[in-house]
């Protein structure tokens, strides 16, 4: 490299819960990019932090990342992006909502110090149930809603896979949109489905196949009692989300964000496409919905509101 040429300053990404399946998968996928990240893994299990750093450190030369190391919550205080995937241990359940109270207690020890420090980076939540937790986080912290984001890409990915299965095509050729809850209240925007760029109207039988895949993926996965979550898809998707924040661009990305009038919903976090950049959300894109889909969206928002109201706002 010529003496006059300098590398861009690394983007500091702190992964809280980074020694778990999703956090370590995010770290691995960030290492495969050409972006100069400083990646910090924070977790309560020191031995797992050391293990992952020893392993991932040998992959630094294969990508563009600047560094990867272990750290503490104090590292988040000057981070550009804080990603939280920390969660209580998984157990058999019928809904992500069963983790609400326990994960809120865990998150309190993360968000309160950030708020007290005046931290002003971008916060990405991958902990479930993401929509009510994000709604509560904004109320507790008073942060700018455009820099508090929930990871929901998996809903769209499962819609794509379901459509591909029903039509017998490659999932890569499918584009579609999901809005609303990261959970049973998600709204599949059938009008958004395209295959190789051509609008595709699925018939009743095909929609039934898609619905079965999308609605029952979580149920089937939890029933395996494997003790693991969607490690690989969430890890890759989380890294793509961080890339979209770091680099910006004009491609819409689905995230959960606290809405203020979009879809007729206020002060509740739900998923919608957005444009991202280093300051968080640059633009919220409101997808036109049918009257029935609009009502489903708003009904689910009321459910999310009821859950968020169960959590303490005052520090």
Residues 29 and 70 in one domain: yes
Q: pLDDT class for 4, splitting at 50, 70, 90?
A: very low
**Mean pLDDT over residues 70-97, rounded?**
89
The predicted-structure confidence for 21-60, as pLDDT tens digits, reads as follows 999 999 999 999 999 999 999 999 999 999 999 999 999 9
DSSP assignment letter at 211: H
Q: Which has the minimum average pLDDT: 70-74, 90-94, 107-111?
A: 90-94
Q: Domain check: are 163 and 206 in the same one? A: yes
Burial of 92 (0-12, 13-18, 19+ CB in 10 A): exposed
> pTM of the entire structure?
0.95
User: How many domains in the chain?
Assistant: 2
Asked if 101 and 19 sit in the same domain, the reply is yes
Q: What is the CATH number of the domain that holds 273?
A: 3.90.110.10
Query: Per residue in 116-142, pLDDT tens?
Result: 999 999 999 999 999 999 999 999 999
Nearest to 37 by CA among 5, 6, 69: 69
Residue 12 has pLDDT above 50, yes or no: yes
- CA separation (Å) from 162 to 11, 159, 168, 226? 35, 5, 10, 23
Residue 6 forms part of a structural domain: no
Domain boundary among 113, 128, 151: 151
Rounded to 5°, the CA angle 147-149-154 comes to 155
In this structure, is residue 204 part of a structural domain? yes
Q: What is the DSSP letter of 287?
A: P
5 within domain boundaries: no
Residue 23, CA atoms < 13 Å, CB-side half-sphere? 29
**Domain shared by 276 and 287, yes or no:** yes
Which domain, by its residues, includes 50?
Answer: 11-151
Mean pLDDT of the chain: 94
Give the residue among 46, 43, 40, 48 at the shortest CA–CA distance from 67: 40
pLDDT tens for each residue of 236-263: 999 999 999 999 999 999 999 999 999 9
Per-residue pLDDT for 235 more than 80? yes
């Amino acid at each position: 490299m010529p003496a006059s040429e300098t590398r861009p300053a690394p983007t500091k990404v702190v992964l809280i819960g980074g020694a778990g399946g999703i956090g370590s998968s995010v770290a691995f996928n960030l290492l495969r990019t050409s972006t100069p990240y400083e990646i910090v893994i924070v977790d309560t299990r020191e031995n797992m932090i050391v293990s992952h750093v020893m392993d991932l450190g040998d992959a630094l030369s294969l990508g563009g990342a600047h560094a990867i190391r272990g750290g503490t919550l104090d590292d988040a205080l000057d981070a550009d992006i804080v990603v939280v995937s920390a969660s209580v241990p998984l157990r058999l359940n019928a809904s992500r909502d069963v983790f609400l109270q326990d994960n809120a207690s865990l998150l309190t020890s993360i968000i309160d110090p950030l708020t007290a420090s005046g931290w002003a980076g971008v916060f990405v939540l991958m902990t479930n149930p993401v929509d009510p937790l994000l709604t509560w986080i904004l109320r507790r912290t008073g942060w700018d809603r455009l820099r508090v984001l929930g990871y929901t890409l998996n809903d769209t990915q499962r819609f794509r896979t379901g459509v591909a299965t029903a039509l017998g095509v490659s999932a890569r050729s499918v584009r579609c949109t999901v809005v609303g809850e990261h959970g049973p209240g998600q709204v599949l925007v059938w009008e958004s489905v395209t295959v190789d760029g051509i609008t595709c109207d699925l018939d009743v039988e095909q929609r039934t196949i898609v619905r079965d895949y999308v609605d029952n993926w979580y149920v089937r996965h939890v029933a395996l009692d494997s003790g693991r979550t969607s490690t690989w898809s969430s890890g890759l998707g989380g890294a793509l989300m961080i890339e979209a924040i770091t680099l910006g661009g004009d491609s819409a990305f689905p995230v959960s964000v606290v809405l203020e009038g979009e879809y007729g919903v206020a002060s509740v976090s739900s998923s919608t496409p957005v444009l991202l950049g280093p300051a968080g959300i640059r633009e919220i894109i409101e997808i036109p919905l049918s009257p029935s889909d609009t009502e489903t969206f708003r009904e689910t928002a009321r459910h999310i509101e009821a859950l968020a109201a169960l959590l303490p706002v005052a520090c």
